[in-house]
Amino acid sequence: MPIKNIAKELIVLLSISLFAAFTVNFFSPKGIALLGDWDTSKGVISAKSKENVVVHELEIGDVRTAKQIYDSGGAVFLDARAEELFEEGHIEGAVSLPVGRYDAYIGKFKVAYPLSAYIVTYCSGRECDDSHQLAQNFFEEGYTNISVFIDGYPGWKEAGYPIALIDPKHN
């Protein structure tokens, strides 16, 4: 068989394979996003998947604005990171509510804070969407006054704002 024919057959097989892959991906509920927001200067990065939870309109994109909200005393800051990270350091006065343990924590939170509470969620910065996922969970719970501090704990700490440590081995 001449090389030209083999090359044509390979191109046809590759084309069919790509078409099938893109079709399955398109119809799959957990399909991989082909487009996304990858510029952290514009907010939390997002793959724009079908289950995308990133809502840029909720984002507090400036650490000074987050500090003003914090200083007003009118918001509950919620740390969406794992408990171990919270213990290593968090925004002083923040409440730990790991997004992965939401179901275990939400009942206690609802008793302590009314649906009208102003909530500011945060996690590990602009490459972490846990704070957006937590915000979405709270919207579904009936809370409506929610913002997402996108620079999270690293941005807060870097700015020199008040932090707290539970685990004294970390600084």
Q: Of 109, 150, 110, nearest to 128 (Cα)?
A: 150
Domain that holds residue 21: 1-32
39-41-47 Cα angle (round to 5): 30
Both 76 and 8 in one domain: the answer is no
pLDDT tens string 12-65:
787 787 777 767 766 766 665 555 554 555 554 454 444 555 567 788 989 999
Q: Same domain for 118 and 48?
A: yes
- Whole-prediction pTM: 0.70
CB of 35 closer than 8 Å to CB of 48: yes
| 171 domain-assigned | no
CATH number for the domain spanning 146: value is 3.40.250.10
| Number of domains composing the chain | 2
Inter-residue contact 87 to 167 (CB < 8 Å): yes
Helix (H) or strand (E) holding 96: strand 95-96
**Cα–Cα distance for residue pair 97/64, rounded to 1 Å:** 23
Integer Cα distance of 13 and 19 in angstroms: 10
> Does 15 share its domain with 68?
no
**In terms of pLDDT, which residue wins out, 26 or 157?**
157
Q: Note the pLDDT tens digit of each residue in 90-145.
A: 999 999 999 999 999 999 999 999 999 999 999 999 888 899 899 999 999 999 99
Asked whether residue 117 falls in the same domain as residue 72, the answer is yes
Residue 49's contacts (CB-CB under 8 Å, 6 or more residues apart) are 30, 31, 32, 33
14 and 81 together in one domain: no
Number of other CB atoms surrounding residue 43 within 10 Å: 20
